[in-house]
Amino acid sequence: MRVLQRFPDESEKTYYAVLSVGYGLLADIDIESERLRSLGESRFTIWAVLRLIGLKTYRMKVSYLQAEPGDKGETQPQRLSPRLFRSTTEVEKPRNDELMRRTISADTNIISDPLEPFADNQIEYGDLAEDFVAADTFGPSSKYSPLTGEIPSDWVTIEGDFVLVYAVLQRFIGTDNMFAPKSKMDDGLIYLLLIRGDASRGQLFQFLTSFESGTHVDVPCCEMIPVKAFRLEPQTSEGNLTIDGEKVPTAPVQVEILPSFYRVFMR
Residue 234, C-beta contacts closer than 8 angstroms, at least 6 positions apart? 23, 58, 59, 60, 241, 250, 251, 252
Confidence of residue 124 (pLDDT cuts 50, 70, 90): very low
In angstroms, the CA 192 to CA 227 distance is: 7
Query: pLDDT at position 1, please?
Result: 85
- Residue 93's H or E segment, with its range, is none
pLDDT of the residue at 32: 92
Pairing of the two strands 58-66 and 222-234: antiparallel
CATH of 2-75+143-256, picked from 3.30.360.10, 2.40.110.10, 2.30.140.10, 2.60.200.40, is 2.60.200.40
186 has pLDDT over 70: yes
81 closest CA partner among 139, 124, 160, 38: 139
Asked if the model's pLDDT at residue 100 lies above 70, the reply is no
- Please, are residues 104 and 135 in contact by the beta-carbon 8 Å criterion? no
Q: pLDDT grade, residue 71 (50/70/90)?
A: low
Average pLDDT over residues 212-223: 90
Cα 60 from Cα 235, distance rounded (Å) = 5
- CA-based diameter of the chain, in Å? 64
Q: What is the Cβ-side half-sphere exposure of residue 248, based on CA atoms within 13 angstroms?
A: 26
How far is Cα 41 from Cα 58, in angstroms, rounded to an integer? Answer: 26
- What sign for the dihedral angle of Cα 26, 231, 77, 71? positive
User: Given a cut of 60, is residue 95 above it in pLDDT?
Assistant: no
Reported as a single tens digit per residue, the pLDDT across 156-175 is: 999 999 999 999 988 888 77
Half-sphere exposure at residue 238, Cβ-oriented, CA atoms within 13 angstroms: 11
Q: How confident is the model at residue 182 (pLDDT cuts 50, 70, 90)?
A: confident
Q: Which residues are paired to 15 by β-bridges?
A: 3
pLDDT at 145: 85
Calpha distance 226→158 (Å, rounded): 15
Domain borders along the chain are 2-75+143-256, 85-137
